Amino acid sequence: MQTEKKDIRALSKDQLRDFFVVNNDKAFRGNQVYEWLWSKGAHHFEDMTNISKETRAMLEGNFVINHIKVDTMQRSEDGTVKNAVRLHDGLVVESVLIPTNTRTTACVSSQVGCSLDCNFCATAKLKRMRNLEPAEIYDQVIAIDKESRLYYNHPLSNIVFMGMGEPLMNYNNVIKAIDMITSNDGLGMSPKRITVSTSGVPKMIKKLADDEVKFKLAVSLHSAIDEIRSRIMPFSANFPLTELRESLEYWYKKTKSKITYEYVVWKDINDNTASIDALVKFCKHVPCKVNLIEYNPIDDGEFQQASEQSINAYIKALEANDIVAKVRRSRGKDIDAACGQLANKEA
């Protein structure tokens, strides 16, 4: 039986350079192979045409290149594209391309399933099976960039980590993937065009600040009242809002980057004055804006979108306090590609 070979893309550029030196070649060979693997997106060693046949065979003997495969691609009436992405071990995650008039945004997954347990989210029902590797996150972006060029005639303009999984529970791999996406060895995209969305893990938000990341942060708040929040997002009982708030204050102090709060208004849950007041108060601590996300029903019907009137009450209160609030209509609902609907239904 063959022993399992290592994915060559788990090696950093320096590690790859060292590998060639140890194997009696030049460090520079490492740069060439690295370029093939990342910026040229080679799927096979034999594609690396400026590398000698012997060297390619040697690489083949030592490593594999674990590329993702877009299994099925669905296109919504509104132009949204959803990819079911098969990983080398057969597991599947989903990523979404969201076009608007001025930009195309990739919504990518960071875990297979999710570590957390938000009651309103279809992905949470899958449980976490494993974390994605940096290359598996990077490949989702590359696949969507290709689709963006093909269908919309321009490269991908933005990336949001709002697909399956909790990015801050796969911290190192998400950071490595973003380093590759922003590096000139990879896509060379500006970190300002990337948003990481978290359900709010205070310790990891502080770590982001300490690591001086340059991308944007979004927090899925949904309630600024502990008792309600821990009912709809049970894990958050471990992270009281005061702790979350302190971590966000810390983030802002270090990064000077505004936070986006994601917030769904549900009937009989947070469509009341106490919830509105609590949100307004919470928003005053750190410069921010609020995205009011339309609810996308998942199968069990426990949650229902609040009335237009309740949403308007939120907007009015936030605006009266000079807090920018936007209503985000969902895209790709007909193909289960909207927020919280990613659940591998086709897999």
Give dist(CA 18, CA 339) in Å, integer.
43
Taking every pair of Cα atoms in the chain, the longest distance, rounded to a whole number of angstroms, is: 71
Nearer to ligand SAH, 109 or 182 (CB): 109
State which of residues 16, 97, 162, 323 lies at the interface with ligand SAH (CB under 6 A). Answer: 162
296 is in an annotated binding site: yes
Beta partners for residue 86, in sequence order: 69, 92
Site string for ligand SAH, 96-135 (x = CB under 6 A): ----------------------x-xx--------------
State which of residues 105, 140, 198, 260 lies at the interface with ligand SAH (CB under 6 A). Answer: 198
Q: Is 264 in the site for ligand SAH (CB under 6 A)?
A: yes
At closest approach, how far in Å is the CB of 294 from ligand SAH?
7
Site string for ligand SAH, 288-307 (x = CB under 6 A): -----x-xx-x---------
- Residue 183 in tokens: 């590096």
221 is in an annotated binding site: yes
Residues 138 and 179: beta-carbon distance below 8 Å: no
State which of residues 220, 223, 236, 275 lies at the interface with ligand SAH (CB under 6 A). Answer: 220
Nearer to ligand SAH, 157 or 198 (CB): 198
Give me the sign of the Cα torsion angle 197, 256, 247, 315: negative
The H-or-E segment that residue 263 falls in is strand 259-263
Check residue 259 and give left, alpha or beta (phi > 0: left; psi -120 to 50: alpha).
Answer: beta
Give dist(CA 51, CA 65) in Å, integer.
16
Q: Is 137 in the site for ligand SAH (CB under 6 A)?
A: no
Residues 214 and 191: beta-carbon distance below 8 Å: yes
Catalytically active residues are 94, 339
Amino acid found at 335: I
Q: How many Å from the N-terminal Cα to the C-terminal Cα in the chain?
A: 29
Give dist(CA 157, CA 194) in Å, integer.
9
At closest approach, how far in Å is the CB of 139 from ligand SAH?
19
State which of residues 166, 187, 194, 279 lies at the interface with ligand SAH (CB under 6 A). Answer: 166
Nearer to ligand SAH, 67 or 128 (CB): 128
Q: CA 47 from chain center: how many Å?
A: 30
Q: Is 94 in the site for ligand SAH (CB under 6 A)?
A: no
Question: Which residues of the shown chain bind ligand SAH in the complex (CB under 6 A)?
Answer: 118, 120-121, 162, 166, 197-199, 220, 262, 264, 293, 295-296, 298, 339-340
Residue ranges of the binding site for S-adenosyl-L-methionine: 165-166, 197, 220-222, 296
